[in-house]
Amino acid sequence: MLQLHPKKRSNLRIWAGTQYYTLKRQAQWITDGKRYTTQRNTTPLPHLIHEHRTPLYRRLRDVDLEMQQNKVINLNIAIKQLNGIIVSPNEVLSYWKTIGRPTKRKGYVDGMILHYGKVTTGTGGGLCQLSNLIYWITLHSPLTVTERYRHSYDVFPDSRRDQPFGSGATCSYNYLDLQITNQTAQTFQLLLYIEGDYLVGQWRSNIPPTVQYKIYEENHHFTNEWWGGIVRHNQIFRSVLSQDGTFIRNEFITENHALTMYDPFLPENTAYKKADP
């Protein structure tokens, strides 16, 4: 049976663990034998596979407007590294290998980050919105997600949510990576941009789509844990449909379990979205 409860670690242990896993990832990038994509071309490929947009500004508890404005600055910098990236057959897109380490020298500023369920600030904060978006549009494509990490904490009540809980991908340089592999015979292109108050992402291809995907959740529930906390659970699936809407199959994607940092049983905290519109 799944048992989740907060784990207390000293600052020294956290620092040492971060250094270890960062170096381990850097070694993996060199030795794992994967073909990481580096080619970029911002001229759009002819066929749109999927597009999605997410709001840049949300009403979040304990997060002031400046942190959200700084997030937009950081997103603009990261987008320049990812926009137009080409993923050819058998190539792998690594989120962090492509973006690189977010540093002040590159122009990144302090933005919101989540540290063991608590809101704090750090250089490059806010880039999880970008990894969340890329993961979501990838679920609507034939591309394969080969590495993804779920959020361990559910920090905020749902606000302007149009996706199921747990349908994102957390990121932390560089060991919590998002990797996407092209196991098809077609070429894909990632386009990213900011339009008004929205972050927009597209997967495009040289070949038109032959199927469409609908993402939905099942078994969404909260549990009261023996140690006094509340854990949020669900499972993510997708339906594969023909272009005319004929059902082909259902596919299991992942399951999520997150420590809830708010009271989900208050009326204002109970709204959530189960599926694609």
Asked whether residue 268 is assigned to any structural domain, the reply reads: no
Looking at residue 170, the DSSP 8-state letter turns out to be -
Q: What is the pLDDT of residues 7-44, one digit of tens each?
A: 666 777 777 878 888 899 999 999 999 999 999 999 99
Number of domains in the chain: 1
Please give the pLDDT value at position 1: 46
Report the alpha-carbon angle 25-31-33, nearest 5. 115
Q: Kindly state whether residue 238 falls inside one of the protein's structural domains.
A: no
- Rounded to whole angstroms, the Cα distance separating 165 from 167 reads 6
Q: Which residue has the higher pLDDT, 197 or 113?
A: 197
Tell whether 249 is covered by a domain: no
| pLDDT digits 0-9 by tens, 191-241 | 999 999 999 999 999 999 999 999 999 999 888 888 788 899 999 999 999
Does residue 70 belong to any structural domain of this protein? yes
Provide the domain limits for residue 113: 33-208
Distance CA 115, CA 151 (A): 11
Give the pLDDT confidence of 138-147 residue by residue, as tens digits.
999 999 999 9
27 in a structural domain: no
Please tell me the pTM assigned to this model: 0.90
Residue of 137, 129, 127 whose CA lies nearest to 213: 137
In a domain, 124, yes or no: yes
Residue 156 counted as domain residue: yes
pLDDT band with cut points at 50, 70 and 90 for residue 266: low
Examine residue 90 and state whether it is found in any structural domain, yes or no.
yes
Q: What is the pLDDT of residue 159?
A: 62
